[in-house]
Chains A and B, each alone.
Chain A
Amino acid sequence: MFPKLDPLLHSELRLAVMSILADVTSADFTFLKKQTGATSGNLSVQIDKLAAAGYITVEKGFKGKMPCTTCTITPEGMEAFQGYVNALKDYLPL
């Protein structure tokens, strides 16, 4: 019996965002947008979903006069991400 993959992470854009955030201390919206190639609207929606699940925290502030949204993975998010990667291994002949 294969373990069920976390549906929140089993989505291309949300998985990409979580992969980046799992590797860095925190990342701002423009960096995530550039790395994923997503549109602002789509990225914003997916970030909200991850934040609502408690996987990431979103901090809105300013860098100089420019608004700046910073995302950070939470311990719960890291655990979910690790669980997702471990579950993937069962699907593959590794």
Chain B
Amino acid sequence: MEQNKEMTAQESLAIIAETVNNSRKSIFQRSGKYLLVWGIALTIVSLLVFIVWKTTGKQAWNYLWFAMPVLGLIPSYILKSKETTRLPDNTVSRMLAGIWRTFGVLDVSISIFAILYAHLGTSVFTSLAVAISLSPMILLLFGMAETISGVAVKNTTIKVAGLITGVGGIILYFILSTLSEDGLETTLRFTMAGLVLAFSGIILQVHNKQ
């Protein structure tokens, strides 16, 4: 980039647009990498829970869900440490991080609630647990987080993917619920959600390739 070049108004605007666009592409590419990592982690854990639960018949394998933060955080940390250039945050990347952190906190809280309910049985949690079904709630939250992410990055594919995960996930939940009484098959709904998240990460990276 030259320093003393005479610029026209059009050239000035073109520089502003091009620079901001390229800077945003770099930042969105990084966000896409993290969505891909978490999508893969969700897919792996959900499949693992499904397989070992089905093989052993023990519901206790659901505790494997708590391995997900580890499976997501370690690769995220490695990715961050390998960045040659420290990428800044902008409003959209901060919003994306906020959306998925909120989803993570709500998801873990609901999961802890489900465990407490399972262990405490007919206690104070019973009336609440009867009133709400936890899995569809998590899927709705997931779909909402995904759709809002699509709105934030102005990507229709991600917006639609969020709606499909939210609505389709609930439909899949009820269909899979009829296949078994213990809810084993319904674990696969999270595999679908994981694949959608990974897909969104790939879309974000491809759309912002420089």
Interface residues of A (CB under 8 A from B): 5, 10-13, 15-16, 19-20, 22-28, 30-31, 34-38, 42, 46, 63, 68, 84-85, 88, 91-92
Contact = CB atoms under 8 A, between A and B. Distances in A.
A91 to B, nearest CB: 3
Contacts of B94: 25
B88 A15 contact: no
Nearest to B9: A91
A38 to B, nearest CB: 5
Nearest to B26: A35
B55 interface: no
Contacts of A68: 86
A24 B89 contact: yes
Interface stretch (B14-22, B104-112, B114-122, B201-209): B14-22
A46 B3 contact: yes
Contacts of B12: 5, 10, 15, 84, 88
Mostly helix, strand, loop or mixed at chain A's interface?
A: helix
18 contacts: A12-B3, A12-B15, A13-B3, A19-B15, A19-B23, A24-B23, A24-B88, A25-B89, A28-B85, A28-B88, A30-B84, A30-B85, A35-B26, A36-B1, A42-B3, A88-B12, A91-B9, A92-B13
Given A12-B1, A25-B89, A30-B85, A20 B23 contact: yes
Given A16-B16, A20-B20, 17 more contacts: A12-B7, A13-B2, A15-B7, A15-B16, A15-B19, A16-B15, A16-B19, A19-B23, A20-B19, A30-B84, A30-B86, A35-B19, A42-B3, A88-B12, A88-B13, A91-B9, A92-B13
Nearest to A85: B16
B5 interface: yes
A19 B19 CA distance: 7
Given A12-B5, A19-B15, A28 B23 contact: no
Given A15-B15, A31-B86, A23 B26 contact: no
B178 interface: no
